[in-house]
C-alpha cells in the first residue's frame, strides 16, 4: 500500500530532508540553508521546531550571510505531522522527546551546540560543523 503522506510528482523523484530543533531559529535554519545551497533542486528541504522562536537568530543570519547564504526569509515554524510523513530523512538537533518518530524514516541526531546567546565566533564554528555534516548527508543521499 502506498504511503499517502509521500509526495507525488516531481518531489517524489528526489529525497526530502527535514531538519528539526527546538526553536527552528538557528541550527535547523543553518542546516536547511546549507542543504539548499549545496544540493539545489536535487533535494527537497524542510525545517521546523517543537517550540518555534519569533525570529531567526540574528547571529546565525549574519554568519550564514558571510558565506553568501540568506536564511532570514524563512521564519521559524512548528513542524507538522505532514512534514515528518513526507520526509525521507529526519535530522534532529536537540529537540529530545519532542522530536517525532515515524517508522520507516531515516533518522540522524546531530549533537550540535545551540547558537542561541553564543558569540559570533562560536556560531561560526557551529555553521562550519553543520556544513560538514550537510556535505556528508548529500553524499549519503547520492545527491
Q: Which active-site residues does the annotation give?
A: 21, 95, 99
Buried/exposed code over 45-75 (b: 16+ C-beta within 10 A; e: otherwise): bbbbbbebbeebbebbbebbeeeebebeebe
Non-local CB neighbours of 57 within 8 Å, separated by 6+ positions: 23, 25, 26, 29, 115, 116, 123
Amino acid at each position: 500500500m502506498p504511503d499517502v503522506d509521500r509526495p507525488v510528482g516531481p518531489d517524489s523523484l528526489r529525497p526530502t530532508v527535514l531538519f528539526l530543533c527546538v526553536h527552528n531559529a538557528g541550527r535547523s535554519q543553518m542546516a536547511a540553508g546549507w542543504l539548499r545551497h549545496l544540493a539545489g533542486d536535487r533535494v527537497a528541504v524542510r525545517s521546523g521546531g517543537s517550540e518555534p522562536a519569533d525570529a531567526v537568530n540574528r547571529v546565525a543570519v549574519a554568519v550564514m550571510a558571510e558565506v553568501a547564504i540568506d536564511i532570514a526569509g524563512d521564519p521559524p515554524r512548528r513542524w507538522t505531522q505532514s512534514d515528518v510523513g513526507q520526509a525521507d530523512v529526519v535530522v534532529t538537533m536537540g529537540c529530545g522527546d519532542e522530536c517525532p518518530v515515524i517508522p520507516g524514516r531515516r533518522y540522524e541526531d546531530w549533537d550540535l551546540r545551540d547558537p542561541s546567546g553564543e558569540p559570533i565566533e562560536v556560531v561560526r564554528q557551529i555553521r562550519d560543523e553543520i556544513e560538514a555534516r550537510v556535505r556528508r548527508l548529500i553524499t549519503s543521499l547520492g545527491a
